[in-house]
């Protein structure tokens, strides 16, 4: 079984302006996503909706090795990482199909974009 992270980018400002009905629709899609994952044998092991990037802290080191902390998002983009799921699966192709439930319909005015799936590196396998 491989663990994947399902990354959910989105337009944070559009989400803040969205109506309660729009938010309820999005949350219903996430409930459907979880239900279909379970039906198809995938297992959600974690995940979270993330706070707005304006409340983020970006940490780096300067040329002298000092820690520099900056408030707000590091990148000025229209989309930020808005949430994620950790999913265990033996079938990446099927997982991708189920993730389509969370991807935006291009015919709608949905502010959400696509979904990115990445395998989590298993360093325990390196030790053997």
Residue 121 belongs to what H/E stretch?
none
Q: Rounded CA gap, 104 and 33, in Å?
A: 13
Hey, what's the torsion of the CAs at 115, 82, 13, 107, to 10 degrees?
20
Are residues 117 and 99 in contact, defined by beta-carbon separation less than 8 angstroms? yes
Are residues 106 and 34 in contact, defined by beta-carbon separation less than 8 angstroms? no
| Residue 128: band (very low, low, confident or very high) from pLDDT cuts 50, 70, 90 | low
If you average pLDDT over residues 38-51, what whole number do you get? 96
pTM, rounded to two decimals:
0.83
If you average pLDDT over residues 40-67, what whole number do you get? 93
Residue 16 belongs to what H/E stretch?
helix 12-17
Work out the percent of the chain whose per-residue pLDDT is above 90. 59
| Res 58: pLDDT | 87
In the predicted structure, residue 120 carries a pLDDT above the cut 90: yes
What homologous superfamily is domain 2-127 in, according to CATH? Dimeric alpha+beta barrel (3.30.70.1060)
In the predicted structure, residue 66 carries a pLDDT above the cut 70: yes
Task: Collect all residues with Cβ–Cβ distance below 8 Å to 46 and sequence separation of at least 6.
Answer: 85, 86
DSSP-based three-state secondary structure for 110: coil
| Rg over CA atoms, the chain | 17
| Residue 105: band (very low, low, confident or very high) from pLDDT cuts 50, 70, 90 | low
Name the most confidently modeled range: 5-14, 75-84, 90-99, 117-126: 90-99
Are residues 86 and 46 in contact, defined by beta-carbon separation less than 8 angstroms? yes
Q: Give residue 57's Cα distance to chain centre.
A: 18
What are the domain boundaries of the chain? 2-127
Which token pair is 45?
Answer: 């092991």
- Candidate from 8-12, 40-44, 64-68, 104-108 with smallest mean pLDDT: 104-108
Q: What is the mean pLDDT of the chain?
A: 88
Q: Rounded CA gap, 116 and 59, in Å?
A: 24
């Amino acid at each position: 079984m491989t663990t994947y992270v399902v990354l959910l980018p989105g337009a944070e400002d559009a989400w803040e302006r969205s109506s309660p009905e729009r938010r309820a629709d999005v949350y219903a899609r996430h409930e459907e996503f979880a239900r279909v994952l379970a039906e198809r044998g995938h297992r959600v092991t974690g995940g979270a909706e993330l706070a707005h990037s304006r409340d983020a802290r970006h940490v780096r080191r300067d040329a002298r090795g000092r820690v520099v902390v900056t408030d707000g998002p590091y990148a000025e983009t229209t989309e930020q990482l808005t949430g994620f799921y950790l999913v265990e699966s033996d079938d990446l192709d099927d997982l991708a199909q189920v993730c389509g439930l969370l991807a935006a319909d291009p015919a709608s005015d949905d502010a959400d974009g696509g979904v990115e799936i990445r395998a989590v590196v298993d360093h325990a396998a390196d030790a053997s």
